[in-house]
Chain A
Amino acid sequence: MAIDRKKIIDSLSKLQVQSDDDGLIPAFNVLVNQLPASFWNNFGELITKSVSADMLEAAQYLLYNAANSCGYNTGYGIITSEEWKAVVEPMVDGSPEDVLHGAFAVFTAWGWAKAEIVELVPEKKMVVRAYDYYESDIVELGASKIPSAYMIQGVCSAFMDLAYGKPYPDGNGTFQCEQVKGIECGDDYGEFVITPV
């Protein structure tokens, strides 16, 4: 059975998370939070616009790294969850490529970005396009010169780590991501190229 992206998104976008009596949301092997997207954007903007020019790359890397760690750990939690087994697993043949397509449908259902894989060369390269994503909200008028979707960048390379790296939890950091287009930069969509480090 081929991946039915629409069915996955329809099904998993209805998933409502609720905190327990301690005000925490333990799920997918992690503690989950549900915050206004603007909070994440605000900090990214405040920190990258506050550091000196020679520190900008380091700040951008650390924002990317936060998402990479989140994507790797939460991503693993997702693809081993009951929700995945119920909705996505019946559609995947077990190949890393199928799992990746399924994972990006879940990525979309969670509201991280309306993203899909447009090119995939097993173990070598993946190209992802995002047609809508909250990180682009940092620009409301005009265009930024700096592609700033650090969360998508980090999660994309983490998903490649999960697909082709060493088994979890030892496979993180084997892929890198370059954002080559961004809605925040005036492009019609964001484009992300993931290759081995």
Chain B
Amino acid sequence: MAKVRKVEWEIDHHFDPKTTRHYNNGTVTVLHCHHFITLYSQLADDAEMVDGKGLLCKAAELSFYEVLKSYFEKHGVTKLMERVALVEEYWKICGMGLLHFENVGEVSASAEMAHSHVDEGWIKKWGTRDKPVNFVGQGYLMAAMAAMYDLPMGSYKVNEVQSIVSGAETSKFAIVRA
């Protein structure tokens, strides 16, 4: 069995008193709440004419791809298992839930969230609904897969096949090469 060094996401936090901005590993980071993210998700869901859901996925993919890719490069993380562990851990650090990849391959992968900030925030604010709402999570997984395989953004599609917001115990995601 291959040996895998234990990896932990290192956080270098810095507050710049001049600009009053917070930086985590050089990235401007900001605290917000579930009201903010669920209302963004609702706006995305309502904006069908411009594929609002796709735009919210894209917004997440654009941001997280850079964060993950630069972290892997800066810390010399090349092994897939280590990258997967870091992707799961960073999601948790963001307060976005508990992510676990069930299987990962370059062409397809399956991931599960035992807890989800977006879903549980949505339920807290409005209750359950029968369609997925975690477009941010889908975008994160698109970014994560592309970064893990050193591929460009847009290389993966994500389908949420089961959702906490709909009453399931966990959210599940099917990921495939675009």
> Which residues of A come within 8 Å of B, CB atoms?
9-10, 13-14, 16-17, 19, 22-25, 28, 30-40, 42-43, 46-47, 50-52, 55, 59, 62-63, 65-67, 69-70, 73-74, 77, 108-114, 132, 134, 137
Q: How far is the CA of A37 from the CA of B28 in the complex (A)?
A: 6
Q: Are B39 and A73 in contact (CB under 8 A)?
A: no
Chain B residues within 8 Å of A66, by CB:
35-36, 39-40, 43
B residues whose Cβ falls under 8 Å from a Cβ of A: 13, 15, 17-22, 24, 27-37, 39-40, 43-44, 46-47, 49-50, 52, 55-56, 58-60, 62-64, 66-67, 91-99, 114-115, 117, 120-121, 124, 136
- Is A31's CB under 8 angstroms from B117's CB? yes
Give how many A-B residue pairs fall within 8 Å (CB-CB).
Answer: 178
Q: Whole-angstrom distance from the CB of B29 to the nearest CB of chain A?
A: 6
Given A13-B20, A46-B55, A74-B33, check contact A31 B60 (CB 8 Å). no
Chain B binding surface, main DSSP class: helix
- How many angstroms from the CA of A22 to the CA of B18 in the assembled complex? 35
What are 12 inter-chain pairs, A to B, with CB distance below 8 A? A9-B17, A23-B92, A31-B121, A33-B31, A33-B33, A35-B63, A38-B66, A39-B136, A40-B30, A59-B43, A62-B43, A70-B35
* 6 additional contacts (CB under 8 A) given A22-B97, A111-B28: A10-B17, A35-B32, A38-B63, A40-B40, A47-B50, A50-B55
**Contact at B22–A33, with CB atoms within 8 Å?**
no
In the assembled complex, the CB of B120 is this many whole angstroms from the nearest CB of chain A, namely: 7
Which of the residues A13, A24, A69 comes within 8 Å of B36, measured between beta carbons? A69
A153–B34 Cα distance when bound, in Å, is 18
Residues of chain A within 8 A (CB-CB) of B92 are: 19, 23
Q: Is the CB of B99 within 8 A of A23?
A: yes
Complex interface: chain B residues within 8 A of A42 (CB): 58-60, 62-63
Q: For the complex, what is the distance from the CA of A24 to the CA of B58, rounded to whole Å?
A: 23
* Chain B hits for A19, CB < 8 A: 92-95
